[in-house]
Amino acid sequence: MLSEDIKNKFIRSFNKKPLIVRSPGRINLIGEHTDYNEGFVMPAAIDKEIVCAVSANYGKTCRIIAHDMNDTFEFELNEFKRSDKGWPNYILGVIDQFQKRGLEVKGFDCVFGGNIPLGAGLSSSAALECSVAYSLNLLYQHNLSKLEIVHMSQDAENEFVGVNCGIMDQFASVFGRSDQILRLDCKTLEYEYFDFIMEDYGIVLCDTQVKHSLATSEYNTRRRECEKGVAILKKYYPTINSLRDVNIDQLTKHKNEFDDITYKRCKYVIEETDRVLRCCELLKKGDLIGFGKNMFETHEGLSKEYEVSCTELDFLANKAKESKMSIGSRMMGGGFGGCTINLVKISDLDRFIQTMTESYKNELNLELQTYTVKIENGTSKL
């Protein structure tokens, strides 16, 4: 068991008992590329997690052991800087946020490890940040709220690691609930839980095992294209500040002022926001079939209008739809690689995985990695 392994490693390494905290990775069921347009997302925490064992040592030195990487890192609290190793920066960034807020952190010892697949778009970095922030909050009794922990973890990644991520990953990791998904309003941070009871269906992630070099540059380009669309419409509707504030009639009315690409980008985002709200109503009725149909629509939009998919993702989403074993499939995350997320009948799980794996190998000559995940509670003390 992961938590026992981490605990035992800590005791062997530091000869004392630790505080143990777990923080999960996340999936996003629907609402892709809506976050930076101040729209809605529907994420959930999953049963893949980072486990962090910590204890105060009352000095100024922090000693960190990365269990999975069999690596160590040591630093002084009063003179640390970015590390060329990479992984320590997620921890250093969190400490940096405590210090910027005047919250005392003393020397501590830490062992962490996890079972979140790296590079699959399941937010292992957010889980690590949240586990460390949650641990230090308990260890030094700062009485931070969940939302403060989320903000500090996001700021750590933005400011210290240097990745301009939105708030969804950290929010889902901390606020997740078993058998429920969140509807998060990325404009106001208001949120609501919706039951997502999977009695007859399972969630399967199909990992393309690829990440095309376009990902970062095209992500930045999409943000600019959305901003361009907002600037055009704001001339006519001064209260518009983001695509969240735009309806499809307003966009269509001024279509002739848009170039084709900017129009397609804006159309996708507006329709995706509508899909998320529609899916909330479907969940209230317990209509997972209808929810899944919207997932297929999202993938079509991401592929044809937002153009952030790739051959591998399109192949997997289309194959899932053709199989009739999946009621919903789409690419998940920034795009150009990573995973598709699939809702699959429990009775067909094994056959679905076998079909997808064999097809991916036979037709694209690529190896497919699959993960079956369940929706779990957010960050907590063990």
Place of tokens 């938590």: 3
User: Which H/E stretch holds residue 138?
Assistant: helix 124-139
121 phi/psi in degrees, rounded to 5: 80, 30
- The answer to whether the pTM exceeds 0.85 is yes
d(CA 260, CA 361): 36
Q: What is the 3-state secondary structure (H, E, C) of 147-210?
A: HHHHHHHHHHHHHHHCCCCCCHHHHHHHHCECCEEEEEECCCCCEEEEECCCCCEEEEEEEEEE
Quote the percentage of the chain above a pLDDT of 70.
100
3-state secondary structure of 103: coil
pLDDT at 354 over 80: yes
Q: Provide the residue type at 256 as one letter.
A: N
At 103 the pLDDT is: 97
For range 115-127, the mean pLDDT: 89
d(CA 101, CA 172): 23
Q: What is the 3-state secondary structure (H, E, C) of 331-348?
A: EECCCCEEEEEEEEEHHH
Please list the residues that pair with 46 across neighbouring strands: 375
176: left (phi over 0), alpha (psi -120 to 50) or beta: beta
pLDDT at 148 over 80: yes
Active site amino acids: 169
Give the tens place of pLDDT for each residue, 172-229. Answer: 999 999 999 999 999 999 999 999 988 899 999 999 998 877 767 888 899 999 999 9
Q: How many helices (H) and strands (E) does the chain have?
A: 11, 12
How far, in whole angstroms, is CA 260 from its chain's centroid?
30
pLDDT at 102 over 90: yes
Give the tens place of pLDDT for each residue, 59-99. Answer: 999 999 999 999 999 999 988 899 999 999 999 999 999 99
Beta strands in the chain (DSSP E): 19-30, 40-56, 61-66, 71-76, 108-114, 180-185, 191-195, 201-211, 326-332, 337-345, 369-373, 380-381
Nearest CA among 157, 199, 103, 153 for reference residue 378: 153
Nearest CA among 243, 241, 234, 23 for reference residue 123: 23
Instruction: State the pLDDT confidence band at 369, using cuts at 50, 70 and 90.
Output: very high
Place of tokens 């926001």: 273
At 197 the pLDDT is: 84
| Encoded tokens for 101 | 């807020």
pLDDT at 163 over 90: no
At 125 the pLDDT is: 93
Nearest CA among 139, 108, 122 for reference residue 21: 139
How much is the mean pLDDT over the chain? 95
- Interacting residues of 34 by C-beta distance below 8 A, sequence separation 6+: 40, 41, 186, 244, 269, 272, 273, 276
d(CA 295, CA 331): 9
Q: Provide the residue type at 123 as one letter.
A: S
d(CA 268, CA 33): 9
3-state secondary structure of 145: coil
At 295 the pLDDT is: 98
Cβ atoms of 258 and 236 within 8 Å: the answer is no
Instruction: State the pLDDT confidence band at 58, using cuts at 50, 70 and 90.
Output: confident
At 262 the pLDDT is: 98
Nearest CA among 310, 356, 311, 317 for reference residue 334: 310
Nearest CA among 371, 316, 343 for reference residue 122: 371
206 phi/psi in degrees, rounded to 5: -110, 110
- Interacting residues of 261 by C-beta distance below 8 A, sequence separation 6+: 225
Q: Provide the residue type at 349 as one letter.
A: L
> CB-hemisphere CA count at 13 Å for 374?
10
340 phi/psi in degrees, rounded to 5: -100, 150
Cβ atoms of 24 and 173 within 8 Å: the answer is yes
